[in-house]
Amino acid sequence: MKIGKIVLLCLCVGFMVSAVMVAPGFAALTVQMEVISGKILSIQANKVVRLDDGKVYEPGKKIVNLAGVKAGDVVTLKYFVKADARRVFVEYAPGRGSLPIPPRIEQPVPVPRY
């Protein structure tokens, strides 16, 4: 009886491992980018920016060079919102409305089966 349980456990683990290895090939991840313009209230040493909208924007993994930008400057940030509601910016430009607005990602409509 124990051997049957062990074999069943091995089969389940093997199936799960193969499903995880195949799944990334079929998975698609989409992130909606947003653009915001505003006056910088503060910039921290770790490049975290607080705009006059009261929200905090932190840099992504690839740190954006904010050389010469200081509190009081007006900038435009391209950002996305993480699952934990943190705003992560990936690009900036000086001035209001200086980055193009990215297209909206529409959710795919399921195709009915006939």
What is the pLDDT confidence band of residue 28, given thresholds at 50, 70 and 90? low
- pTM score: 0.66
Query: Distance between CA atoms of 89 and 102, rounded to whole angstroms?
Result: 14
Q: What is the end-to-end Cα distance of the chain in Å, rounded?
A: 46
Q: What pLDDT score does 109 carry?
A: 64
What is the pLDDT confidence band of residue 63, given thresholds at 50, 70 and 90? confident
Pick the CATH number of 34-94 from 3.40.50.10190, 2.40.50.320, 1.10.3720.10, 1.10.240.10: 2.40.50.320
Phi, psi (deg, nearest 5) at residue 22: -85, -35
The more confident residue out of 27 and 56 is 56
Is the Cβ–Cβ distance between 77 and 91 less than 8 Å? Answer: yes
Mean pLDDT score, 2-24 = 52
What residue segments make up the domains of the chain, in order of their start? 34-94
